[in-house]
Homo-oligomer: A and B are copies of this chain.
Amino acid sequence: MTLGFANRLAGVFAGQGRLCVGIDPHAWLLSEWNLPDNAAGAREFGLRVVDAAAGLAGIVKPQVAFFERFGSRGFDALEQVIRDARDRGILVIADAKRGDVGSSVDAYGETWLGGGSPLESDAVTLNPFQGVGALSGPFALAESNGKGVFVLAATSNPEGIAGQKAKLASGQTVARSILDEVTTWNTAHTTGLLGNVGVVLGATLDLSGFELGSVPIPAPPVLAPGFGHQGASVSELKTIYGDLADGVIVSESRALLAAGPGGIRQAIAARAEEVRLASG
């Protein structure tokens, strides 16, 4: 039987902790790392970050956009980075933010969660603008393949707040309705405390404004950007996320990557320890 994503995640939390290292080959970071701004540079960057994370952090999150800008060659580089991380037992969350309907969104599911797909990852981020219900194909594929999904719910950027706080006819906020629909799915498919379908909730937000209400069980795992460079302090993890804190993945990119190829391993080690202390 395939081990569910929530169980695999719990294993990573217990073993290596909650730190997730972003793999963001921006042009300016490639330049700082003395790498060329092309697909070969992005591949080398990704492989070095994976190497630096190995044994210290159990999760990496490649930002797909920074590979996609190089077209098919960029995707070839991304395939190699994903494969290398997974071969080393590191969980890969592909930050793709894909969304669509019907057979199109099913195709995105197959791309990122399908067994044997060239881009096969352990989880993918999805965008619910066309409705959480439209994502049920990838959700079902995730359940059967031991994969995870993180649905954008309340993101850490100011431009998104008005729409995510907008109210449905039911009186719920958009963000709350996403959390509810995810929970309905998890309740029907999971018996544990943590579901296989999670949400993205930015750490720099005052989550009370989204009227998220009581914490559902099973709780969704939470992919949490916004620590480090973006300003939230990891020591406030429990204050920010309340009863959702047990499922929080602390995602950091720039603050670690800016340490450069010589300093990144030490930066990850130090940060992983801080996160362990804050969430212990």
Residues of chain A whose beta carbon lies under 8 Å from any beta carbon of chain B: 24, 26, 63, 65-66, 68-73, 75-76, 78-79, 95, 97-105, 107-108, 110-111, 114, 117-119, 127-134, 152, 155, 157-170, 173-174, 177
- Given A75-B71, A157-B134, A162-B169, A65 contacting B118 (CB threshold 8 A): no
**Known: A129-B127, A152-B129. Contact between A105 and B160, CB under 8 A?**
no
Contact A133 B119 (CB under 8 A): no
Nearest B-chain residue to A118, judged by Cβ: B71
The answer to whether A161 and B131 touch (CB under 8 A), given A71-B111, A108-B68, A111-B69, is yes
Say how far A79's CB is from chain B's closest CB, in angstroms: 6
Q: Is the CB of B110 within 8 A of A69?
A: yes
- What are 21 A-B pairs with beta-carbon distances under 8 A? A63-B104, A68-B111, A69-B108, A71-B117, A72-B78, A72-B118, A95-B104, A99-B127, A101-B155, A129-B129, A129-B155, A129-B163, A129-B164, A131-B157, A131-B159, A131-B162, A163-B177, A165-B169, A166-B173, A166-B174, A167-B167
Copies per complex of this chain: 2
- The winner among A97, A132, A174 for most chain B CB atoms within 10 A is A97
Measured between beta carbons, the chain B residues less than 8 angstroms from A118 are: 70-73
Residues of B within 8 A of A128 (CB): 129, 163
**In the A-B complex, the 6 residue pairs with the closest CB atoms:** A131-B159, A71-B118, A133-B159, A72-B75, A72-B76, A166-B166
Q: How far is the CB of A209 from chain B (nearest CB, A)?
A: 11
By a CB distance below 8 angstroms, the chain B residues around A100 are 63, 65, 97
- Please name the residue on chain B nearest to A107 by beta carbon: B65
A75 and B97 CA atoms in complex are apart in Å by: 18
Which of A107, A110, A128 has the most B CB atoms < 10 Å from its CB? A107
Q: How close is A99's CB to chain B, nearest CB, in angstroms?
A: 6
Chain B residues lying within 8 Å of A152, measured Cβ to Cβ, are: 129-130
Q: Is the CB of B72 within 8 A of A79?
A: yes
> What distance in Å separates the Cβ of A95 from its nearest Cβ neighbour in chain B?
8
Residues of B within 8 A of A69 (CB): 107-108, 110-111, 114, 117
Q: Are B159 and A134 in contact (CB under 8 A)?
A: yes
A72 to B132, CA, bound (A): 28
Q: Give the complex CA separation of A115 and B24 in angstroms.
A: 22
Bound-state Cα–Cα, A131 to B164, Å:
9
Min distance, Cβ A131 to any Cβ of chain B, angstroms: 3
